[in-house]
Chains A and B, each alone.
Chain A
Amino acid sequence: MMKQGLLCLIHIGDDRRLHLKAEALREELSEDVNTIWMTVSQLSLFDFSDIVPFIICIISNSKIEWQNEVNLLKSKFPHFILGIYSDDITSIQAFATGCQFVLNPEDKLGRQFLWQIVTSKHLNHENQILENQRLEKSLTEIQLKNKELEKINFELDRFVYSASHDLRSPLTSVLGLLYLLRMQLIDAESIKYTNLMEESILKLDNTIKDIVTYSRNNRTDIIREKVKVKSLIKDLVDNLKYLEPSGTSLNEAIVFKGINIINADKNRLQTILNNLISNSIRYRQTSRQLKIQIKTEITDENLVLSVEDNGIGIKEQHIDRIFDMFYRTNDSSTGSGLGLYIVKETINKLGGNIQVNSTINEGTTFIVSFPLEN
């Protein structure tokens, strides 16, 4: 059985006075606190294998004498407070009073507690201990809030997936019906109508996907793995076929240069590229052939990813706001107003940053930079 408690180690020298003080403290504390008292002459001889200390007090008249051994202890119990050395009980009490610490590891229910030594009385002038000390435990306020937030996050996330599924199901059914209908149509007018219907549905579907992507970015941890940028782009482009302008091959319009295999969070990289590439397609200059150049390079300690197009460009007055939630540059823009906001949020999560350079009628370049490892 492991013993748990406040561990006090008293260095026994010939300092009788110190020893008596320590004994007095022990008596006071042991009423409320599970205290393990040890009197040792050398810390390194002490067997810690069956003790889980909360706090380690070293009562000694010499700090220097204990220093090396305390360092050893610190490496053994990195989560515990250590090194209260003093020949003066008063300063130990001062330290312990109001001293708050969060204990690791968590208990069986995954909770962490805030431990606090509460002192309710004072020392008298003869240095006698009159304080009443208790070790109190409580979930920290922040931890309680965190637990609550985690629960809300989880529920919200499940809600988003569930709602997105219920919203998407009828949409995919309509897309399926349009697909079947179009096979039977021959007149241009009807085909045009079905195309417009499909376009509207895909737009709504994209908004739903955007919301889910946003939720996913907030919820999931970063997972780094080897990613082949080239094949990632190819998969993305396959899914963007519905945006492909007539007379243009997206596979030819999109050129990739640079480092192909990078260490990155695949899902997030996909989110970033997907949004940037689809914007380049949406805001292309129709009078010229679409060109999108994607580059990856390593500079200093960053991975730099850039997406450059020859599109219509972004007006200066919009530049500062394009990453805002629901910001759209004009009424006719077909997006949800979430794309670049999600890009920014995703990059933030990864600890990177994004810049944009744009010239009207010439094109836009987004430059994303991530720290290589963190």
Chain B
Amino acid sequence: MENIFEEVILIEDSEIDVFINTKVIELMQITEHIVSLPSGEVALEYLSNSQKKFDKPYLIFLDIRMPKMDGFEFLESFQALPERIKQKIRIVMLSSTIDTIDLEKANANPFVLGFIPKPLTRDKIANLKLM
């Protein structure tokens, strides 16, 4: 699992959760770069302007309820990104929702690798089939 990701992107508006998630990801040592972005909009801009080489895959932890553009709206726009970016990105939804509609929507989305109920823990990351 060591540094298997080029970068882990947290799309998350809660500062405390960014702090927690960063800590847990650091403990897992799955990447050397952690970026946190406060909304879906900012994340889209970040991804589309990215000039980086996509050697190793990127992992996104995507929150659902966020101001302006929520997680699902982000996923809709994500679809329009160039294939070379999309194919290197793994998305995991991370939320405290217990709305079954949210869970169904997340599971039905082809870009979503899995759903993690908050809080993020090492076990929950380890249980994902990330690659």
Given contacts A165-B65, A169-B14, contact A176 B100 (CB under 8 A): no
Docked complex: B33-76 residues within 8 A CB-CB of A: 65
- A169: B residues at CB distance < 8 A: 14, 65, 96, 118
B119 lies within 8 A of A216 (CB): no
Q: Which of B24, B97, B119 contacts A173 (CB 8 A)?
A: B119
A180 lies within 8 A of B24 (CB): yes
Q: Which of B17, B100, B117, B121 contacts A267 (CB 8 A)?
A: B100
Residue interface mask B60-104, A partner, CB < 8 A = 1:
000001000000000000000000000000000000111110000
Q: Is A119 an interface residue (CB 8 A)?
A: no
B17 lies within 8 A of A176 (CB): yes
Docked complex: B88-131 residues within 8 A CB-CB of A: 96-100, 117-121
Q: Is A366 an interface residue (CB 8 A)?
A: no
B119 lies within 8 A of A172 (CB): yes
A180 lies within 8 A of B20 (CB): yes
Q: Is B16 an interface residue (CB 8 A)?
A: yes
A267 CA / B103 CA spacing, docked (Å)? 13
Q: Would you give 24 A-B contacts (Cβ < 8 Å), ordered by A?
A: A161-B97, A161-B99, A164-B98, A165-B97, A165-B99, A168-B98, A169-B65, A169-B118, A171-B96, A172-B117, A172-B119, A173-B16, A173-B17, A173-B20, A173-B119, A175-B118, A176-B16, A176-B17, A176-B20, A176-B119, A183-B27, A212-B98, A216-B100, A267-B100
Chain A contact patch, size range: 10 to 19
A177 lies within 8 A of B99 (CB): no
A123 CA / B75 CA spacing, docked (Å)? 70
B98 lies within 8 A of A209 (CB): yes
A177 CA / B23 CA spacing, docked (Å)? 10
Residue interface mask A255-289, B partner, CB < 8 A = 1:
00000000000010000000000000000000000
Q: Is A95 an interface residue (CB 8 A)?
A: no
Please list the 9 inter-chain residue pairs (A to B) with the smallest Cβ-Cβ separation, ordered nearest first: A176-B119, A176-B20, A172-B118, A172-B96, A168-B96, A173-B16, A161-B99, A175-B119, A172-B119
With contacts A172-B119, A176-B16, A176-B21 known, what are 12 further pairs, Cβ within 8 A? A164-B98, A165-B98, A169-B14, A169-B118, A172-B17, A172-B96, A175-B118, A176-B119, A176-B120, A179-B119, A212-B98, A216-B100
Residue interface mask A195-221, B partner, CB < 8 A = 1:
000000000000001001000100000
Q: Which residues of A contact B (CB under 8 A)?
A: 161, 164-165, 168-169, 171-173, 175-177, 179-180, 183, 209, 212, 216, 267
- B100: A residues at CB distance < 8 A: 216, 267
A165 CA / B118 CA spacing, docked (Å)? 11
Docked complex: B1-35 residues within 8 A CB-CB of A: 14, 16-17, 20-21, 23-24, 27
Given contacts A165-B65, A172-B118, contact A177 B98 (CB under 8 A): no
B23 lies within 8 A of A180 (CB): yes
What residue of chain B has the Cβ atom nearest to residue A170's Cβ?
Answer: B16
A183 CA / B119 CA spacing, docked (Å)? 15
A331 CA / B99 CA spacing, docked (Å)? 31
A183 CA / B17 CA spacing, docked (Å)? 17
- A177: B residues at CB distance < 8 A: 16, 20
A216 CA / B101 CA spacing, docked (Å)? 11
A267 CA / B14 CA spacing, docked (Å)? 30
- B96: A residues at CB distance < 8 A: 165, 168-169, 171-172
A261 CA / B100 CA spacing, docked (Å)? 23
A293 CA / B73 CA spacing, docked (Å)? 45
